Amino acid sequence: MPCSGEDAMFNGRGYTYVRYVVLFAAIACLVSTLFTVLTFLVDMHRFRYPERPIIFLSACYTVVAITYIVGYASGQQIACAKDNRTADALEDEMEEAVIAVGESVEREYVIVQGTKHEVCTIMFILLYFFSMASSVWWVILTVTWFLSAGLKWGNEAIESNSHYFHLAAWAVPAVKTIAVLATSHVEGDGLTGVCWTGVSNSVAHRGFVLAPLCAYLAVGTCFLLAGFAALCRIRTVMKHDGTRTDKLEKLMVRIGIFGVLYMVPAAIVISCHAYEHWFRDEWMLAWLGTTCQNKDHPVPCPPRNFGGLEWSRPNINVFMIKYLMTLIVGITSGFWIWSGKTITSWSNFYGRVTGRRSTRRVVV
């Protein structure tokens, strides 16, 4: 499939607009997540379990944002490649004519497929691995909150099991990444310039993207709601005993807001993927029909009601929302550090660097 031109899936002003939106969202995501990671580095003792998975989630989105920025800067150089198949087909049929006349075949840029293009493969590994790892860290975050609020585990008890969290967070995405590479389901995304999986393959899209995202969101939501319900019970008991619940209520509000800031964009991303998966066959049929009408094509044009499907074009706004919501999750992952404690942490760090003793105290 061509990357650009009239025969491409996306072209025109909408194509350019979406690329700019993705670029600006990726830059905002990079700034937010990088600031979160740097805040952790200047005050590591502040972020203990159950909050620490937020840091690793932000680190994952830092890499995701960088890949989208690189994809925009590279244009078509990574996700697309010059089509060699046209020359190969003509070589067998018209080799003598080509040599005699000196005719050359113009090659157009097409979507990269497979693992033969090293740069695209590396781009895919970074984007897919860290995207899936961020989702696993979200699940781990909800699990640690449930252990803390529901099962009354202390910070030390949760931290003593942190090696299991890291094993799950890095091993599960690694296995899925290897599976994609083994099946050669790496594809270029001509809209954003990055490389992903399941861009045109429904089976790969369903197995490696849609199903895992649904599973992660469902499991994480269950643990988050269970932990939140436990906090509500604790709040009721504390009020009954006459204990002040100001700090607990503040924690509940922050957990609730953070949960919404993650779950709503994640649900929208899944909805966009479902839309893409549901109508993919119609779009491919439309592309085939348009291509075979506009130029000489080795495959005859399919009938208009081929397979019971009508020709249609994808709504580019849905794709823009998908990329935007993906990066917004990274932007809002820094919500947990948006407090007076962060100002105190940086103030103390500045004092250590300059040799001045800071008089600021940690805000509770």
Structural domains of the chain in order of their starting residue, each with its CATH number: 13-98+105-354 (1.20.1070.10)
Contacts of 19 (CB under 8 A, 6+ apart): 72, 191, 192, 193
pLDDT at 104: 37
Distance, CA of 205 to CA of 92 (rounded, Å): 35
Q: Is 314 left (phi over 0), alpha (psi -120 to 50) or beta?
A: beta
* 118-149 helix and 246-294 helix, angle to the nearest 10 degrees: 150
Distance of CA 127 to the CA centre of its chain: 7
List pLDDT tens digits, range 14-26: 888 999 999 999 9
CA neighbor of 217 nearest in space, from 170, 274, 163: 274
pTM of the model: 0.85
User: Which pLDDT does position 321 carry in this prediction?
Assistant: 95
What pLDDT, in 10s, does the model give residues 110-142? 888 888 899 999 999 999 999 999 999 999 999
pLDDT at 46 over 70: yes
Contact 8, 310 (CB under 8 A): no
Q: How many other CB atoms sit within 10 Å of the CB of residue 194? A: 27
CA distances from 131 to 84, 175, 262 (A): 32, 14, 14
* Phi, psi values for residue 187, rounded to 5°: -140, 150
- The count of other CB atoms within 10 Å of the CB of residue 24 is 13
For the ranges 77-91, 98-112, 291-305, which has the lowest average pLDDT?
Answer: 98-112
Contact 269, 325 (CB under 8 A): yes
Q: Taking residues 178-192, report their average pLDDT.
A: 93
